[in-house]
Structure formats: structure tokens, C-alpha cells
Amino acid sequence: MTPRDNSGFQNRPTEELQPGMDTAVLGSRVEDPFDVKLRQLVELAGDIIWTADMAMRPTYVSNSIQRHLGYTPQEAMQLTMEQVFASHSYQLAMGTLAEEVARDHEPGVEDDRTRTLEVDLVHKDGHLVPVEICYSALRDAHGQITQVMAIARNITERKRAQQALEESESRYRGLFERSLDMVIVIDLEGRIIDANPATARLSGYPLDRLIGRHAWECFTEEERLVAIDMLSTMVRTEQAPCLVEFHPRRKNGRVLDVEVNASLVYHEGTLVGVELISRDITERKQRERERAQAVVRLNRGMAATIEAMSAAVEMRDPYTASHQRRVTRVARAIAEEMGLSDESQQALSVAGALHDLGKISIPAEILAKPGQVTDAEFQLIKEHPEASYNLLKSIRFPWPVAEIVFQHHERLDGSGYPQGLKGDEMLPEARVLAVADVFEAMSSHRPYRPALGTAAALEELEHGRGTLYNPEAVDACIRLVRDKGFTLE
């Protein structure tokens, strides 16, 4: 074995590194510029650098030991390695050193080999400091090992981060195992590589039967294609969708309703899979279906009630019943032309069909009277909005039907009846119904006069636009008739 040249500590003869040296790397000989620079680098190094003889007594310690272990270099020079190393770490280091010394006699083993260990050093105050030590042999001119040089890097922060990561992974695993939702991890081809107990419980398949299978084997053909496309999109864009509903089939054939939340899984910055958290929403969906069915039944019952009321009106006064049907048609058309909501359109459908319900309280001979009615008779007729309101107010419609009906003879300037409301005091639907009622009444035949026609009706609406009638509703009615060919028939 021969010594190497120009390689720092490793090519320095033993006699140049004497016990007690606290700052010099090269002994007491005259230093050349390279040696001076090397010593400056060593003293400024953040890692601890030291050398020890084969009895593990230090022969050099860098100044950085004080920052990491609390000892001054002079104090550290008085300690043996057994005192600096934690007991378990000292045994590990000595065992590794013995292995390396034994290997030194094996043919083909390089002289400049190094070993790296993670060990604990003892701080001056007694607590342990985790370090990563990289050490190698220092040899004499004959290539014999005479000392050991070690570079120790403080890895306290790394250990803390590692411990935090392990604790986080442990917490995640605990949540994974205890979750009531199905949690599976699939690779980029859709095969299940991990699954929690809830997945086995809800699917009916044991975990060992699930691992390795494609996640969507129990999907319908249609949903399988959706799932494959979704995974392909996630891999391509590296973006996961929020919530998606699927309907897998359990082992016993029962279909589940599940809500799936997907998130991407990375390893060292590379996308390796997808985590799917599936919540069983079967009971929730069943309740939604039951509510929907209840709404359908309620709507049917309400429609039957409205039809019965209309029939009662028609039995007494066929004219009023046909008038209500036509007003409803006009009001729905105006509302749709105005872009009102479905809720408003539905409200107008019911209110239009019942807006003159109160006329059943007016003597039939007055309603069917030809020619002009008297003032007293007209005052009686004007009471029908309130009568309609009183008949409808106790019925729990999804919309303010009774109020709309009560207001359909009100006018924007307060000249209407029975409450004399103005402008925004009227409900939006009541303003539409008022326009539809005037248009139908003037366009159609009345017992006391022939039909005036749509032209006269539109002229009346234009004349009262903004003062008596809602301008948007008037404009919509005019567009329907003049531009779109709307008729009452």
C-alpha cells in the first residue's frame, strides 16, 4: 500500500498530527499556501471535523464542535470517543471500524474507502445529538492505518422532519384503517394497490380479493367507460375532480350509490396513483327519491284540488272557467317571454287558474247579465279578489297564490282594487297576471258586450304602460302578439 498525494488529511504522516493540537491541521512544520487555505476551510466548516488515533483519542477537533455539542475544541481534545459517543452509537462505530480494519488485508480493497453511519453524540449538557458521520482512514508513509478522520453533520432537523413525517403517516394510516368510507389507492392503470377495511365491508369482497383487481370491475359498462376516461384525464392533466357519483354493484348484487372524491398520489415528485374516497350515499339517495315521489304525489294532489275548484266554478259559470284557463295561458307566455324563473311561472299557472274563484260568491244572474251592470252590482263584483283570497289563503301552496290572486286587479298608480296597492307593493307575478287578465278580458266576448279584439287590448295596455300596468309585462305581451303570432285560441 502506498500513500496518496494531494488529498487533504489522508496523505499526512501521523507525526504531523500530534495530540493536543487544537487548531493546526498540519503540525508545526512551515505551512505552504495550500495548507493554509485548507486549514481555513476546515475551521470555517459547518460540520464537525476531527481525527483520532487508533485508541480513539482525539488528535484534532474543529471549532464547529462548540456550535453542535457545546464543547470548546480544547475541552473536546480531553475526551475520548467513548465519552463523546452515546453508548449504543460507540458500539456501532467500533464494530464498523473493526470490520474496516479487517478488510484492509483483503486483496482488491481500496485504501481510500469511506463509511457513513447515523449515530448519536452526547452534548455537553447531556442530551443526544443525531449526526451523520462519514469517516475514513489516515495512513502513514507505508499505507498503514494510524488514525481515523471523521466528518459529522448535525441531522437534528432532518430527524425531526422524518419523525414528523412518520407520525403523519402513522396518523394517516390510522385514519385510513378506521374510516367508515371506502378508501382505495389505484395505480395509473386503475388496479387496486391498497384498500381499507371499510371497502371490504361495503363491497362484500375480502381485501385479498380486491388487491390487484381493476377498481371498476363491478361497474356497469357505461360507468366503467366514464371511470376509465376520468382516470386518463387525471393522469394527463394531473388534476382530480371534486365529487363524482358512481353505482357499483356489491358481491351480493345490491347496487350502491357512492360519492367519490379523488386525489393524486405522488412519490418523489412523480405521479404514481390516485386515492379514491367513496362515501356510501345509498340511504341519502333513497331519501331523496322518496322526497321526490312525495313531491310528485303532492303536486298531483294540488293539481286535483285546482281542477276540482275550477270544475266547481265552471258548473256555476262556464264563462269564468274558460276565462281563467285563457288568462293562465297568456300569463305563462308573458312570464316565459320575460325570462321569469320556473318558480314564478308555476305560481302564475296556479294563480291564473284560480284568480276568479271568488266569483262563485256573486249571484249568477249578475255575472251573466247582458248590458251594463249597476254601480251596486259592480261593487259586488269588485269583491271577488278578496273572496278568492279568503278561499285560498288556508291552502299551503309552494307559492304565494292567495296573495297573487288578491292583487290581480291592483294598478301601479294605486287606482286598482281592493287594496289600492302601488308599484312594488304588488307581487311581480300579480303585475304579470294583471296584464294577462286585461288582455284576455278585452280580447274575448263578455256577457254584457262583444269582444273588443286584440288590437284594442294592446292599445289599452300601451296606453297604461308604466302608469297602470307593468311595462316589462306589457312589452312582452305586445311582442308575443305582434311579432310571434300569439293567439288566445
DSSP 8-state class, residue 123: P
Do the Cβ atoms of 271 and 319 come closer than 8 Å?
no
Residue 470's DSSP bridge partners are none
Write out the H or E segment, with its range, that includes residue 116. Answer: strand 114-122
333 or 243, which is more confident: 333
* DSSP state for residue 249 in the 8-state scheme: B
Contact 114, 135 (CB under 8 A): yes
All cell numbers assigned to 2: 502506498
Q: What is the chain's length?
A: 489
Expressed in angstroms, the distance from the first to the final Cα of the chain is: 115
Which tens digit of pLDDT belongs to each residue from 194-214? 999 999 999 999 998 999 999
> How many Cβ atoms sit within 10 Å of the Cβ of residue 148?
21
Cα 364 to Cα 227: distance, rounded to the nearest angstrom:
67
Q: What 3-state DSSP class applies to 371?
A: coil
Taking Cα atoms as reference points, which of 381, 398, 320, 394 lies closest to residue 354? 320
Quote the pLDDT of residue 40: 60
* pLDDT-above-90 percentage for the chain: 45
pLDDT, position 128: 94
In sequence order, the 6+-apart residues with CB closer than 8 A to the CB of 16 are 26, 27, 29
DSSP sequence for 90-111: HHHHHHHHHHHHHHTTSTT--T
What mean pLDDT value characterizes the chain? 84
Q: Pick the closest to residue 90 from 140, 141, 42, 128 (CA basis).
A: 128
Between CA 428 and CA 59 the distance in angstroms is 96
Q: Where do runs of H (alpha helix) occur along 238-374?
A: 282-316, 318-338, 342-354, 364-367
Match 284568480 to its residue by C-alpha cell.
355
Confidence of residue 419 (pLDDT cuts 50, 70, 90): very high
Domains and CATH numbers, the chain: 8-159 (3.30.450.20), 181-280 (3.30.450.20), 286-483 (1.10.3210.10)
pLDDT band at 32 (very low <50, low <70, confident <90, very high): low
d(CA 370, CA 356): 19
Contact 122, 83 (CB under 8 A): yes
pLDDT at 436 over 50: yes
Task: Indicate the burial class of 478 (C-beta count within 10 angstroms; 0-12, 13-18, 19 or more).
Answer: middle
